[in-house]
Amino acid sequence: MIKKDIEYMRLALNEAIKGEGRVNPNPLVGAVVVKNDKIISTGYHEKYGEAHAERNALNKIGELAEGATLYVTLEPCSHTGKTPPCVDKIIESKIKRCVVATLDSNPLVSGKGIKKLKDAGIEVQVGILEKEALEINSVFFKYVEEKLPFIFLKCGITLDGKIATKDFSSKWITNSLAREKVQMYRNKFMGIMLGKNSVLHDNPTLDCRMEGGRNPVRIIIDSKLDIPYEYKVISNNEDEKTIIVTSKQMVETQKYSILKEKYKIKFITLPENEFQLKDIFKQVGKLGIDSILVEGGSSVISQLFRDNLIDAGEIFIAPKILGDSTSIPFVDGFSRSLISEAIELKNVKYNIYGDNIGLEFKK
């Protein structure tokens, strides 16, 4: 029984993943309905504001659901949000048994859905593939628990740890396979963050070029509004997804007004000139953005490491050597006498992309 449960829950997890990039800041959820050891329906949470996974799976089969087992990757909701509670639908559908991978982490609802199902006489089992279910929703759980966006670092470096030459050339360090993976991240995470210098040097679009992908919200740190209008993050703002983080005193300037009215730029304003990233993240979280892909540059990345703000990341390494001490290191500003004082990345996993390698890590 356990073996079968694991098998069906794995399918439900695969369903859940399909919603990546579409449901934030909701969790990814998948559901599988099984009757007489046959899968009779599947479903997932497809888009923020639309039906949940359980409802999608049950709607497809109507009365056939009676007596079936429902596998769902997260505790079904018992409260009315943008959609009616899933537990009601499950009870209505006369599901006999409900297997849940993990509880909802929101203390206001955690366990309530389970209780309601049990009270209705449904057999409930919790904890099948729990670790995997927590893993796919690490963004959601962090955001719900801490009200802060999940911070994911991406950078492409040479073998000697440089992200650009002294002349700020950075095209192309990594190969096309590695760059393709980056597009997946741009689809997965809700926001993308870059320092002003990286924008000025590379003039990036910060689009997601993955087929069927959606563009992340562009968060640019530019305390003095130095980026000219013609730069793509400003001039290509038809989707109104650019947020500039700037200092409060800039609100009075003409440039701020033009950026706001003509270019539809949104702003996060902070009192200090020397921004603390943690303060920015708090503001970003308040805007309902559950995750940020940080792509650089050096000073942003260094501050992230200094303040231990990175939840996970992938560092792409190309087999190239600059050997030039004036080129730009991906992390700088520390003073270390012993190797044992180095920053150590945890939970390391390697992905091979042809002659490039990706080092994945997480807290």
The pair of three-digit structure tokens given for residue 283, joined into one six-digit string: 């503001």
- Which position among 91, 144, 194, 315 is part of the footprint of a copy of itself (CB under 8 A)? 315
| Residue 339 binds a copy of itself, judged by CB under 8 A | yes
Q: Select 104 or 314, whichever has its Cβ closest to a copy of itself.
A: 314
| Residue 350 binds a copy of itself, judged by CB under 8 A | yes
Pairwise CA distance, residues 89 & 98, whole Å: 12
Query: Least distance in Å: CB of 297 to a copy of itself?
Result: 14
Containing H/E element for 35?
Answer: strand 30-35
Query: Least distance in Å: CB of 201 to a copy of itself?
Result: 12
Distances (CA, A) of 228 to 199, 258, 354: 10, 11, 38
The three-state secondary structure class of 305 is: helix
Q: Select 251 or 348, whichever has its Cβ closest to a copy of itself.
A: 348
Query: Least distance in Å: CB of 103 to a copy of itself?
Result: 31
Q: Are 356 and 178 in contact (CB under 8 A)?
A: yes
Q: Select 286 or 349, whichever has its Cβ closest to a copy of itself.
A: 349
| Residue 36 binds a copy of itself, judged by CB under 8 A | no
Query: Least distance in Å: CB of 312 to a copy of itself?
Result: 13
- Please state the separation of Cα 106 from the chain's center in Å: 18
| Residue 334 binds a copy of itself, judged by CB under 8 A | yes
Neighbours of 244 (CB within 10 A): 26
Residue type at 276? Q
Number of amino acids touching a copy of itself (CB under 8 A): 52
| Residue 203 binds a copy of itself, judged by CB under 8 A | no
Query: Least distance in Å: CB of 158 to a copy of itself?
Result: 6
- Which position among 157, 194, 289, 292 is part of the footprint of a copy of itself (CB under 8 A)? 157
Q: Are 305 and 330 in contact (CB under 8 A)?
A: no
Distances (CA, A) of 269 to 102, 243, 250, 257: 38, 10, 8, 13
Query: Least distance in Å: CB of 309 to a copy of itself?
Result: 14
Q: Select 161 or 213, whichever has its Cβ closest to a copy of itself.
A: 161
The residues annotated with a catalytic role in the active site are: 54
Q: Are 269 and 247 in contact (CB under 8 A)?
A: yes
∠ at Cα 345 (143, 22), nearest 5°?
30
Burial 107-117 (b: 16+ CB within 10 A, else e): eebeebbbebb
Q: Select 4 or 166, whichever has its Cβ closest to a copy of itself.
A: 166
Query: Least distance in Å: CB of 176 to a copy of itself?
Result: 15
Q: Select 80 or 325, whichever has its Cβ closest to a copy of itself.
A: 325
The pair of three-digit structure tokens given for residue 17, joined into one six-digit string: 């993943």
Q: What is the largest CA-CA distance in the chain?
A: 70
Residues in the chain, overall count: 363
∠ at Cα 46 (40, 48), nearest 5°?
145
| Residue 144 binds a copy of itself, judged by CB under 8 A | no
Please list every residue from 287 through 306 that binds a copy of itself, using CB under 8 A. Answer: 302, 305
Pairwise CA distance, residues 72 & 70, whole Å: 6
| Stretch of 20-28, 52-60, 127-135, 335-343 lying at the interface with a copy of itself (CB under 8 A) | 335-343
The pair of three-digit structure tokens given for residue 153, joined into one six-digit string: 């670092």
| Residue 307 binds a copy of itself, judged by CB under 8 A | no
- Which position among 266, 361, 362, 363 is part of the footprint of a copy of itself (CB under 8 A)? 361
| Residue 226 binds a copy of itself, judged by CB under 8 A | no
Give the residues lining the site for a copy of itself (CB under 8 A): 157-162, 164-167, 169-173, 302, 305, 315, 317, 319-327, 329-345, 348, 350, 352, 355, 357, 359, 361
